[in-house]
Amino acid sequence: MFSSRMTLNQPSLLYGHLEDLQELAFIERPIRRSLKTAEEIDQLTVDEDLNDIERAVYLLSVGQEVQRVSVISNLPSLVRQNPAETFRRVVPKVREVLNGSGAEIQLAAAASFLTILQDDIILIHTHTYSILKTVLLHLNHRDPVVSSAWLETLLSAINALPKETIKQEVLTPLLYQSQLSHPLQARLASCRILGKVACKFDSHIVKKELLPLARSLCQDVEFEVRACMCRQLESIARATGTELLPELVELAGDEQSSVRLAAFDTIINLMEMIDSDDRIHVVVPLVMSVCEESQADEAVMVSLSFQFGKLCSGLTDDQKGQLLQRFKALCVAGPQIEGNQTDGNNESTLIRCNCCFNFPAMVVFAESAHFLSALYPSFSSLCCDPEVSVRRSAAASFHQVVKLLSSDVQVVHKELLALLQDDALEVRVCQHCSTNQKLSELLSALLLAEQKVGCSLRWRLHEKLLQRYSCLARLLSGELLHQSFTPRIFIILTTNKVLPVQKEAARTFCTFLRYNRRQEQRQEMMERLIQDLAQGRSYWNRLRFLDVCEMATEIFSRKYFNNHFLIPALELVHDPVANVRYKLCQLLPRLRSSLRLPADKQLLQQLEFCVQKLLCREKDKDVVATIRKVTSSLPETTLCSSGLSFQKKQERDLLDQKKEKEEILLLEMVSLSLLIFSPVHCLFCLNDICCVVRNSWSANRVKAN
C-alpha cells in the first residue's frame, strides 16, 4: 500500500530506508556470548575444594598472568588471614613468578608488599626480612616505574627492620650503587635510602658511615642527584647537627635552579637547629643574595615567600629592616599593567598568596606597634589585589592579623569592609573577622554577604555561613540582633528550599532565641514561630516547625522546651496532611525524653493521648507503620533514655541543669544591667561569623607546597 504511493523522485528516501535495514541486519548478527573458548574456560577453572592458600599456590604455579596478578594483589588479605602459611608457601611462589615477569606483575607485587608493611600486619621480623630480600632483588629493574615502586616498598620496610639487618642488607649495596659508574636511577635511589636510614642510627654511625657518602653524592655530576641528595640532608643533619651547613650553602649557589631550591628549602627547615651566629652571618646574607640574584628564578622566590615567616623567627632587631624590605617587595611581586590587572603570572600570584599566609608571622616579627608604618601598606595592597586567589588568602589570614593588632584594630577597618563586599563570592565567605568601629556598616556588610551566598547555588557554603552566624547571639546586644539578624534568619527558615540550609536556619534561630536577654523579644519570637509555622497555612511551614522543635531539644533545657514547644508540637496530631503527622511520629521519642515525673505528669498524659489517637484513628499506612514502630521502641515505665547507663543519664541531667541555670541568668542580666558589649571582644569572637570553613576552599587555595 505504502510502496504504491512512493514516487520515483524519492531516491534519497529509499536509500535511507535501505541503510536502516542494513543497520538492523548488522545488529541482528549472531553475537558471541563469551570471549573465551571452552578450552580456555577449563584452564581458568579451579577446584572449589581448595582453600585460599592452596588456590593461591596453584594459580601462581600453573595459572595465567591475569590470575597471577589477582593472587599477588590479594596477598595482604592472605597475610591477615594466615600469615605463617602465606609466608611459608605463597611468598616463595611469588618470588619465583617475579623472575622474568612483566611490569604488571612487578607493580602488583610491589604494591602488595608495601600494603603489608604499612598496615603493620607482620608480627615477626623474619617475614619482613623475607620481603626485604625480594625487594632488593628487583630494586634496579630496567623499567623506571617498576624500580620506583620497589623503592617505595624498600623505604617502608626500613621502618620495620632492625638496625643490624639494615646495616648488612641495605647499607652495603648502598655504598656500591652510589658510585658514578652506576646508572642515574640507582644513584637517585641511593640518595633516598640514605636519607631514610639516617634516622635509624646514632650520631656516631651516621657521621662515620653515611656523612662521607652524602657529601660525595652532593658533588655528583648529574644535577638530579645533587638535588635529590640535598632534599635528604635535613634528616641527616638532624642526626649529626649542622656539620652539613657549608655543603648546603655551596649547593644554594649551584648552577641548576632545582638544586638551589632544594638547598634553600633544607636550610630554612633546619633554622631551629642553626645557632644565632650562623643565622646572622650565613643564612641572612644567603637570603639577601637569593633576593638580589634570583629575580628570574621564580621557583626559588616562591619557596622563599612560603618560608619567610619561619625564616624570620628568632632573628634579632639587627636584621629586621633588611628582611622587612624584602618581604614588602614580595608582597607586590609581579608587574602591574593597566586596568588594575596583573600580568597573569602564576608564580607571581603564588608569591603574593604566600605573603598573605605569612603575614601574621611578619606582624609578630615587626611587632604590632609598628604595623602601621612597617606593614600596613603591604597588607592593604594584598587585600585589594587584582587576583581573586590573593584576596581570598588575605581574607583567610585576616583574623590572625586582627588578634595581633588588639586595640589598634581600627587600622584595618577599610580592608575588612572591602573583603566583605568583594565581587568574588569565595572572598566574602572566607573573610574571618570584624572591627570595633562603625559596627552598623560591618553588620550591613555581613548581611549583604549572606544574601549573596544565599542567591548562589552553593548551598553548602550557605549552610556553613549560618553555622557561623550563631555566635552573633553571644556578641551583639539583643536589640541589634533582634532588629537586624533574627528577621533574616526567619525568612531563610520559611522560604529556602534546601533542607540542610533550612535545618541550619532553624538551629541559628533557636540559638538567637535562647541568648536573647529580653523577655518581650523572646515572647515575640515564640509567637511568630507558633503563628507562622506551627499554625501556618502551608503544611511545608508546619514541617519546618517540627524541625525547629528537633533543634530546640538540643539547645534549650527540658523545662524551657516543655513550656514553650511541646504542646504546639503535639497539637499537630490533628494536622490534615499525612506528611506532618508522619514527621511528628518520628519526633515522639525525642519529645518523650524531655519529660520528668512527677513534675511533667500532665504533659505525659497529653503525649500518651496523642499516641493513642494516632494508633486508633490514623488511616495513612506510612504513618500507622511509623507510630507502631515508635511505640514498640518507647519504654513503658521509664521516660528518658532507659538504654543509657547511669553515668550517661547523670551527665545529661547535669547538662540540662546547667542549661536551665544559664537561661535564668540570661534574663537576670537585663534587670541587673550586667550586659557587657565590648567591641574589641566582638572583634576577636566574630572570627567565626563569616568563616565558611577554609577546608571547603583548600582545594582551590593557592599556596606553595
Per-residue pLDDT tens digits for 445-496? 778 878 888 888 788 888 888 888 887 887 777 777 888 888 888 998 888 8
Taking the whole predicted model, whether its pTM rises above 0.85 is answered as no
Cell numbers placing 563: 513550656
Least confident interval from 471-485, 521-535, 616-630, 667-681? 667-681
**pLDDT grade, residue 432 (50/70/90)?**
very low
Residue with cell 541568668: 665
pLDDT value of position 38: 65
| CA torsion through residues 59, 61, 67, 70, sign | positive
Least confident interval from 185-194, 220-229, 450-459, 495-504? 450-459
Mean pLDDT of 323-332: 85
Cα dist. 669→514, 666, 675, 685 in Å?
13, 5, 6, 20
The residues facing 203 across adjacent strands are none
The most confident of the ranges 5-19, 31-45, 217-231 is: 217-231
**pLDDT grade, residue 548 (50/70/90)?**
very high
pLDDT value of position 676: 40
* Calpha distance 88→148 (Å, rounded): 27
Mean pLDDT, the chain, rounded, equals 77
Please, which contacts does 424-429 make with residues 24 or more away whose CB atoms are closer than 8 Å? 424/388, 424/391, 424/392, 425/452, 425/453, 425/456, 425/458, 425/461, 426/388, 426/392, 426/697, 426/700, 427/388, 427/391, 427/392, 427/395, 428/452, 428/453, 428/690, 429/453, 429/461, 429/465, 429/690, 429/692
List of residues 6+ apart from 345 with CB closer than 8 A: 298, 334
* Calpha distance 438→403 (Å, rounded): 18
pLDDT of residue 672 exceeding 50, the answer is: no
pLDDT value of position 678: 42
**pLDDT grade, residue 704 (50/70/90)?**
very low
pLDDT value of position 47: 66
Q: Which has the higher per-residue pLDDT, 245 or 417?
A: 245
Q: DSSP class of residue 359?
A: H
The residues facing 337 across adjacent strands are 341
pLDDT value of position 187: 86
* Calpha distance 103→198 (Å, rounded): 31
DSSP 3-state of 506? helix
DSSP 3-state of 703? coil
* Calpha distance 523→521 (Å, rounded): 5
> Exposed (0-12), middle (13-18) or buried (19+): which is 595, by Cβ within 10 Å?
middle
pLDDT of residue 670 exceeding 80, the answer is: no
CA atoms within 13 A on the CB side of 26: 6
List of residues 6+ apart from 326 with CB closer than 8 A: 287, 288, 291
* Domains and their CATH numbers in the chain: 275-333+346-420 (1.25.10), 438-523 (no CATH), 534-634+648-663 (no CATH)
* Calpha distance 558→586 (Å, rounded): 19
Give which of 509, 514, 469 is closest to 486, Cα–Cα. 509
**pLDDT grade, residue 673 (50/70/90)?**
very low
Give which of 262, 272, 264 is closest to 288, Cα–Cα. 264
List of residues 6+ apart from 538 with CB closer than 8 A: none
Task: Report the percentage of the chain scoring pLDDT > 90.
Answer: 6
* Calpha distance 155→132 (Å, rounded): 10
Mean pLDDT of 151-169: 82
The maximal CA–CA distance of the chain, rounded, in angstroms, is: 106
pLDDT of residue 685 exceeding 60, the answer is: no
pLDDT value of position 579: 92
Please, which contacts does 34-39 make with residues 24 or more away whose CB atoms are closer than 8 Å? none
Contact between 263 and 230 under an 8 Å Cβ cutoff? The reply is yes
DSSP 3-state of 5? helix
* Calpha distance 214→192 (Å, rounded): 11
pLDDT value of position 568: 92
pLDDT value of position 646: 67
| CA torsion through residues 551, 553, 556, 562, sign | positive
Contact between 399 and 691 under an 8 Å Cβ cutoff? The reply is yes
pLDDT in tens, 263-285: 888 888 888 788 777 877 888 78
Contact between 445 and 420 under an 8 Å Cβ cutoff? The reply is yes
